[in-house]
Each structure stands twice: as structure tokens, then as C-alpha cells.
């Protein structure tokens, strides 16, 4: 039976460390602050933004929420971002995605100062991640790397397979594994013989968004299985991409979903905000 990677516990430890570091920064006169912009009232987005506010409060990070109506024009949104870019008391800026129709996420993200882009979605930060010279890495892949590190799971020289190639998860995940000297294969919906490839993986990361997508026959015995997926199954329960009950019997390590990658994603946003505050204060 696999060791179950406890992302919830690790995220709690990280939040404690961040809280202590925030307190030390405050003693030096630096008060970390995250601005979160929510446009419209998509229930999932509201839920995520509320969690972000809660996490910030727990760690002593100031959060300012801008809840804008769905009718907000792009010019208005860009105006707010310009104001926050210029405000030295704001260290991190996050625009909750997806944006309502008519607003270009690409233009909006590109308007955020790269030094305040705590989601690491700005093209400059994407490029830095690609080069391996970055301050901010996207929260989910960064959280996965922290989980591997915390469980002393080596990446160097190992076969890593990432299923999913989104800009926010799959692609940066592959880059981070590559920088850790893994031998990385990326798979997507056009991959032929997917199971053959996933069965080669020593470390298998799945970010597809389909319930029970990774079945036991797709996993090499002893592999490390990281389930990024966050889906709602037929019973209305939150679940990942991996058939957990079957795969935990053959994997060496496995993340549960929920309770694996999700809490780490949240913790890494706090970590990036802390980094942004230090960057601004030249600490």
C-alpha cells in the first residue's frame, strides 16, 4: 500500500512558517499585502477568493478584495491594476480566473507588474520559469515540488510523466521537474498509447480534470502518483483524476484528492506573496 502524501498537514506547517516570517517582516516595517480582484459572481471563483482571504488572515498577510461587477469594462479593470501596480503598499496582485466574457485574461494578466504577479502567469514570469531563473512559480506545480521534497522523493534521473499541458499546471509542472533533473514526458489529449507512457513513470503527475482517468493498469508498481485533478463525481463529491482505491495498492506514494495538491496550491500563493513583499523591500 502506498504512503499517502498529506498535503493538508504539510500546507498547515508551511502556513505556520509563513506566519512566523510575516511577523519578522512586520518587525522590519514590511507589511505583506495581497490584492485580489474578483470580477463577476461565479460561485467557484467567490469560494476560491474567500479561501485566499482566510489563508492570508491566518498568516497575518493583509488582503484587499476588489469585487467588481461582471459588467466591468477591460479599461476599468486595467485602470485598477495600474493603480495597484503603482501602490508600494501592495505586494501581490491576483486576478481570479476565469474572467467574464468580453474581458481578455491574456491582456489583463500581462498588465500586472511581473514583480507583483503572485500567480506567475505573466509572460515574463512564464519565461523565467522556462529558464529556471524565477522568483515566482505557479502555485500548483510549485506545491507539487514541495510535496516531493517534503517526502524526500528524488526527481533527478527519474522518469517523470505529466498528463495535461495547461499553461497553469501541466507545462510549468514539466519545467519544474526538468529543472530538478527529471526526464520528463508530457502527455495530452492527442497522445497515442497513453497507458504505455504513463506506465514508464517513476513520478506520474495527472492534471486532466476527469474522474478516475488514471486507472491501476496505467501505473507502474512502486510509482509516485500525484493527482492534481479537482472534479466533482456523480455523487457530488470532490475527487481527483486518479482511481485512488485501486492505484494506492500499487503506488509507493500517492496524493489524496482532496487533501493533497489543493491545500499546497493555496499555501504557495501565500509563499509567493511573502516573496513579493521581500522583493519589494529588497530583503
What is the smallest separation between the CB atom of 139 and ligand NDP, expressed in angstroms?
Answer: 7
One residue of 40, 92, 141, 164 binding ligand NDP per CB under 6 A:
164
Phi-psi region of 45 (alpha: psi -120 to 50; beta: other; left: phi over 0): alpha
**Is 119 marked active-site?**
yes
**Is 115 marked active-site?**
no
Whether the Cβ atoms of residue 264 and residue 10 lie closer than 8 Å to each other = yes
Between the CA of residue 229 and those of 153, 210, 213, 240, 258, what are the distances in Å?
21, 7, 9, 4, 9
- Catalytically annotated residue among 6, 55, 115, 119: 119
Give counts: helices (H), strands (E), the chain.
Answer: 10, 11
Instruction: Compare residues 115 and 119 and give the one whose CB is closer to ligand NDP.
Output: 119
Listed ranges 55-63, 66-74, 83-91, 165-173: which one lies at the site for ligand NDP (CB under 6 A) = 165-173
208 lies in the site for ligand NDP, by CB under 6 A = yes
**Is 17 marked active-site?**
no
Give the contacts of 152 (CB within 8 A, at least 6 positions apart). none
Whether the Cβ atoms of residue 225 and residue 242 lie closer than 8 Å to each other = yes
225 lies in the site for ligand NDP, by CB under 6 A = no
212 lies in the site for ligand NDP, by CB under 6 A = no
Q: What are phi and psi of 44, to 5 degrees?
A: -65, -40
Interface with ligand NDP by CB under 6 A: which residues? 140, 163-166, 168-170, 187-191, 194, 207-209, 228-231, 261-262, 265
Where in the sequence numbering do the catalytic residues fall? Answer: 52, 96, 119
Amino acid at each position: 500500500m502506498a504512503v499517502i502524501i498529506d498535503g493538508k498537514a504539510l500546507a498547515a506547517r508551511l502556513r505556520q512558517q509563513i506566519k512566523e516570517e510575516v511577523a519578522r517582516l512586520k518587525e522590519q516595517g514590511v507589511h505583506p499585502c495581497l490584492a485580489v480582484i474578483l470580477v463577476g459572481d461565479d460561485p467557484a471563483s467567490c469560494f476560491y477568493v474567500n479561501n485566499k482571504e482566510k489563508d492570508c488572515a491566518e498568516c497575518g498577510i493583509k488582503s484587499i478584495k476588489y469585487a467588481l461587477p461582471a459588467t466591468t469594462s477591460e479599461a476599468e479593470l486595467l485602470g485598477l491594476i495600474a493603480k495597484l501596480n503603482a501602490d508600494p503598499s501592495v505586494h501581490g496582485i491576483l486576478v481570479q480566473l476565469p474572467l467574464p466574457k468580453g474581458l481578455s485574461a491574456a491582456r489583463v494578466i500581462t498588465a500586472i507588474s511581473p514583480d507583483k504577479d503572485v500567480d506567475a502567469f505573466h509572460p515574463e514570469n512564464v519565461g523565467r520559469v522556462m529558464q529556471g531563473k524565477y522568483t515566482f512559480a505557479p502555485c500548483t506545480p510549485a506545491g507539487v515540488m514541495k510535496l516531493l521534497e517534503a517526502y524526500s522523493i528524488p526527481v533527478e534521473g527519474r522518469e517523470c510523466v505529466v498528463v495535461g499541458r495547461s499553461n497553469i499546471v501541466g507545462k510549468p509542472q514539466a519545467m519544474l521537474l526538468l529543472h530538478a533533473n527529471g526526464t520528463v514526458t508530457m502527455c495530452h489529449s492527442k497522445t497515442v498509447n497513453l497507458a504505455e507512457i504513463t506506465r514508464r513513470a517513476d513520478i506520474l503527475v495527472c492534471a486532466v480534470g476527469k474522474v478516475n482517468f488514471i486507472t491501476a493498469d496505467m501505473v507502474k508498481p512502486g510509482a509516485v502518483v500525484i493527482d492534481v485533478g479537482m472534479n466533482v463525481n456523480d455523487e457530488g463529491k470532490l475527487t481527483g483524476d486518479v482511481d485512488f482505491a485501486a492505484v494506492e495498492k500499487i503506488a509507493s506514494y500517492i496524493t489524496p484528492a482532496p487533501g493533497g495538491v489543493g491545500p499546497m496550491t493555496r499555501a504557495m500563493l501565500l509563499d509567493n506573496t511573502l516573496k513579493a513583499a521581500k522583493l519589494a523591500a529588497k530583503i
